Amino acid sequence: MIESQSPIQFWGEAVNTASYLHQRTPSAALNGKTPYEVLNGYGKPEKDENGKPIDYKASLHHLHRFGCYVSKRIPKEQRIDSKMGARSKLAMMVGYVHDSTTLWRVSDFDHQKVVQWSDAIFDEERNAHMSCSMAPNEKAETEDPFGLPEGEPTQVEYIEEDDTSEISTEACQRSGSDARQSSGSDINTSVHTERRSENICQEEEYPEQQPPEQPKPWNTSTREALKKKGFSKPTEQRASRRMTRSQRTQVLDESANLAAQNIQEDDPATYEEAMTGSKKQFWKKAMEEEYNSITTNETFTLVNPIRAAQLNPIGCKWVYKTKRNRDNSERYKARLVIKRYEQVKGIDFKETYAPVGKLTTLRYLPSLATKLDWKIHHLDVVTAFLNPKIDSEVHMELPTGIEWLDPAVPTNACVRLNKALYGLKQAPRLWHEDINSFLLSLDFRQLNADPNLYIRHDVLLLLNVDDILVFHTDDSAGEEVKKALKDKYKISDLGPATKFLGLEIDPDEDGITLTQQANIEMILRRFDMHEANGVSTPMDPNVKLYEYEEDEGYADTALYQSIVRSLMYAALGTRRDLAHTVAALSRYSAKPQARHMATAKRALRYLKKTATARLRYSSSRTTELHGYTDSDWAQDSQDRKLQGGYVFMTNGPISWQSRKQEIMALSTTEAEYVACSEAAREAQWLIQLQKDVTGSQP
């Protein structure tokens, strides 16, 4: 333990290793024999049939120094990046396996536990956990995670700009940078660099029972900013430079702050960030507009401070969002949102259900519009949730910034809600009930297939919360409906629809095109994949996602789930070619491994190459409904459940699905019938939708 300078947590492994070595050490009490030799030869013949003595000595060729570095080759199919990524992983040698000379016990940095390795390479010149000398008068300001004495420094290697540096901090967990497996191990807040010289110390932290975190790339802008802060690379004596733990902690703090600044998130998360950022004037104007809408609609009534002191009001906060139009212009929106998690069922709310529109309907209507020559307009209801009256008594705290929004309001008062507010659990239901009753009063008919679709003669309305698409052939009828809506609600007429729910709508003389190019580019930038090399397929057929390897590292779960969510919306919108990939990746969201993260990154690289892919609905094609379905049989060797899918088309694809079934089929025929059953249900719904819209079945 002392010689290898290992943490105290490996005391048990050190005792076992000492016992293992003692059994193989000659003893004078045993006449120069080892305990292993005596025990192994007890009761056995001393000579063979030829009269030669039998050797019961233990093999010593597999012995290595306790606490040294040990590396193992990563199989090609498990590498995050097969070309540029690490080809081996590091661990710490901590012991041996009984009656085996080809297995060793090692402390796996990725799994945070001791595992057994074979085919390993040992570097006995370096300690996996090394403490270096320090000036006697320097005191450490942070506690060492391994219980080493205070005042001991750790050498830090200053690397060139083209070296691979990584940082793992809490701030980096929110970044969308490309997480990859490296030859070293980065645990929690220790700075990780890929070592190029043997005399550089490396320190790892082992928090008990904590899941491993994947390192995030330390980009060039962060490195440059650190140089400006004074942590620059010296030109001479690279390995001899030292830092105290206090300086090292300062580097980590600076790195975390700078990494947070590099995250591609323009919108502030709190009121304080909005008021101290570079876009303060835009957010103040957006907050004033929101507060004016609230007061104009008489959304709440002020409660005097005496009464407010007897109540337990629910908190609220400001939510900021920058909306980008198709022409790259920006709109700044601020929403006053109540903290719904403080609501109590039965007191603050009762029912919460509100119908949600299907993206299939959104694709079906443009495909039909190409044949019927419909025009498509987009309306946005301003502060939609502030219109319906609330169905229960709810009190809320005053919003932050009330002192300049409305100086006449006492800061120790509260408000009682008269109408719904964003964030209320019942707000979507109240808003849908309000606009539904109003549309029914205008002689619109709510369709059975989709409760968010309304029709009146030759005008159709598709609702999605506060966004409305108006389909019409007669301009006067369309303008009449829009005027009625504007008289009832405060509405922004955005003109011909160009973007709806992230789908870009591009009509022309021959039809309509739907694409998600802008959304895909935003996804790629969010995860720092906009400069990655594209690939022509979303998945590698040689990678088996269902196989879990104990010695394979685990991926960052939050980052993995965020990637899968983004891929899922792309697949649900226009990218049917990603349906199978998303279905496969979603099964491992709870505990993704390195191969799952690599597959998710590959899907992003596929999006990079195919970002301009689009759905085309041509007016020259028939609008008859056609469906196709298929299924495999027992291809998943893990549970042998089938994977089925379907696609339905008119003059373009309008509905698709790839899904793993819950049952096992006994034959290919049964597998096909199961997939056909799924497709039949979707076909029945599409038939009902077309019957409701056109009055005739396909």
Residue 145 lies in a domain: no
Most confident of 24-33, 41-50, 246-255, 543-552: 24-33
Q: What is the DSSP letter of 385?
A: G
Residue 42 lies in a domain: no
Q: Report the pLDDT averaged over residues 45-53.
A: 76
| Residues linked to residue 514 through DSSP beta bridges, in sequence order | 505, 615
CATH of the domain at 77: 2.30.30
Backbone angle region of 502, left / alpha / beta, with phi > 0 → left and psi within -120 to 50 → alpha: left
Residue 139 lies in a domain: no
pLDDT for residue 82: 61
439 and 587 both lie in a single domain: no
pLDDT for residue 56: 78
Which one has a higher pLDDT value, 677 or 260?
Answer: 677
Q: Are 453 and 447 in contact (CB under 8 A)?
A: yes
* pLDDT per position as a tens digit, 152-170: 443 333 333 333 333 333 4
H/E element, 112: none
φ and ψ at residue 218, rounded to 5 degrees: -95, 105
* pLDDT per position as a tens digit, 106-156: 988 777 788 888 888 888 888 877 533 333 333 333 344 344 444 444 333
Tell me the C-alpha distance between 316 and 235, whole Å. 53
* pLDDT per position as a tens digit, 58-70: 888 888 889 888 9
Q: Report the pLDDT averaged over residues 5-22.
A: 86
* pLDDT per position as a tens digit, 198-208: 333 333 333 34
- Which of the residue ranges 30-34, 156-160, 671-675, 685-689 would you say has the lowest mean pLDDT? 156-160
For the cut 60, the answer to whether the pLDDT of residue 242 exceeds it is: no
**Dihedral sign, CA of 543, 544, 545, 548?**
negative
Give the end of a domain, one of 495, 528, 561.
Answer: 495
Give the end of a domain, one of 261, 286, 314.
Answer: 261
List C-alpha distances in Å: 619 to 472, 588, 686. Answer: 17, 42, 20
Kindly give the residue spans of alpha helices, DSSP state H, lying in 278-344: 280-296, 305-308
Number of domains into which the chain is organized: 4
pLDDT for residue 564: 93
pLDDT for residue 562: 93
Domain span including residue 97: 8-23+58-127
393 and 489 both lie in a single domain: yes
For the cut 60, the answer to whether the pLDDT of residue 223 exceeds it is: no
List C-alpha distances in Å: 90 to 12, 164, 182, 204. Answer: 21, 16, 9, 12
- Strands across the sheet with 499-500, in order? 499-500, 503-508, 511-515, 614-618
**Dihedral sign, CA of 435, 438, 443, 445?**
positive
Residue 41 lies in a domain: no
Residue 459 lies in a domain: yes
pLDDT for residue 151: 41
Give the end of a domain, one of 238, 261, 284.
Answer: 261
Residue 447 lies in a domain: yes
Q: Report the pLDDT averaged over residues 241-259.
A: 43
Question: 3-class secondary structure for 486-509?
Answer: HHHCCEEEEEECCEECCEEEEEEC
- Which of the residue ranges 246-255, 479-488, 512-521 would you say has the lowest mean pLDDT? 246-255
Q: Give 492's contacts (C-beta < 8 A, 6+ positions apart).
A: 379, 380, 382
For the cut 70, the answer to whether the pLDDT of residue 498 exceeds it is: yes
pLDDT for residue 685: 92
Residue 134 lies in a domain: no
Task: Using pLDDT thresholds of 50, 70 and 90, give the confidence band for residue 423.
Answer: confident
523 and 671 both lie in a single domain: yes
Amino acid residing at 134: M
Residue 373 CB burial class (10 angstroms; 0-12, 13-18, ≥19): exposed
344 and 219 both lie in a single domain: no
183 and 84 both lie in a single domain: no
537 and 488 both lie in a single domain: no
* pLDDT per position as a tens digit, 353-365: 888 888 999 999 9
pLDDT for residue 5: 77
Q: Report the pLDDT averaged over residues 511-538.
A: 90
Task: Using pLDDT thresholds of 50, 70 and 90, give the confidence band for residue 77.
Answer: low
* pLDDT per position as a tens digit, 560-614: 999 999 999 999 999 999 999 999 899 888 888 888 899 999 999 999 999 999 9
Q: Report the pLDDT averaged over residues 165-192.
A: 38
249 and 378 both lie in a single domain: no
102 and 185 both lie in a single domain: no
311 and 250 both lie in a single domain: no
pLDDT for residue 203: 36
Q: Are 168 and 216 in contact (CB under 8 A)?
A: yes
pLDDT for residue 578: 92
pLDDT for residue 582: 92
Q: Report the pLDDT averaged over residues 484-510.
A: 89
Task: Using pLDDT thresholds of 50, 70 and 90, give the confidence band for residue 80.
Answer: low
Residue 48 lies in a domain: no
pLDDT for residue 411: 83
pTM: 0.56
532 and 491 both lie in a single domain: no
What's the mean per-residue pLDDT of the chain? 77
254 and 275 both lie in a single domain: no
Q: Report the pLDDT averaged over residues 616-638.
A: 82
Q: Report the pLDDT averaged over residues 629-658.
A: 85
pLDDT for residue 693: 87
- Which of the residue ranges 63-72, 200-209, 376-385, 552-561 would you say has the lowest mean pLDDT? 200-209
375 and 487 both lie in a single domain: yes
Which one has a higher pLDDT value, 627 or 108?
Answer: 627
Instruction: Give the side-chain half-sphere CA count within 13 A for 328.
Output: 3
pLDDT for residue 99: 75
| Rg, the chain, Cα only | 33
pLDDT for residue 453: 92
For the cut 80, the answer to whether the pLDDT of residue 688 exceeds it is: yes
Q: How many CB atoms lie within 10 A of CB 562?
A: 17
Q: Report the pLDDT averaged over residues 328-341.
A: 85
